[in-house]
Structure 1
């Protein structure tokens, strides 16, 4: 897992060509004006999902993980907490291989992710996004999905 400010993205773009293309989308798109929805970057290999939502209580947020895609989650507006942990012996409660997600039961440590910050979640990382910080916040976020293979 990576947590950093977008101005430091160059530290991570050499992880893979696809991650570099994901950061290129984030840095070269008017994300403040972009509408919510799905955006193709490189067919199914790299795509972005722009979301807008209100943060919620931690009990109302799902712990999730992926196996085919890396997530780059960039906060355009707002602030949220994200629960994070590494995949070990958590109990899987639901999985959808086609949509590349699994939900788990388990404890996490909360990190604060503010406007202008991003996270990178790899397949060994579980994350619980959308958690409210001090108060409910309207968040606009882009999740860039980067296919591993």
Structure 2
């Protein structure tokens, strides 16, 4: 069942709508994705390029001789990945969707660079942002509440 979902960057300058055919996602652990996102992996959803409607055009970074990555040059949000030859689908970052909770990881790509210590973190303590006093105080000093 195809469903149209929306997403975009943190500041809101770049927005998109994507016709998603399923909720399968994957982690890419390759060093390029680690560097491009600044994280231990990139969480992606593959979407046919024709199913992505950029409501406001992203900036594009040629991250290698074979790939380009959409992003927002204002806030720095990484938005995806695409092969330069346009073969295969385009990938959108899970976190850039307005509601990323529906996606489920089904695979690990770039497994040669997996940082195993970060895979199973269930036993680590969990702190909610809205109950972390130092964060709450900073938001309150701005006259605001902690965003969701």
User: Do these two structures clear the TM 0.5 threshold for a shared fold by scoring above it?
Assistant: no
Larger Rg: 2
Q: Which has the higher contact order (CA 8 A, sep 6+)?
A: 1
If the length of structure 1 is used for normalisation, what is the TM-score? Answer: 0.24
If the length of structure 2 is used for normalisation, what is the TM-score? Answer: 0.24
By percentage of residues, which structure has more helix? 2
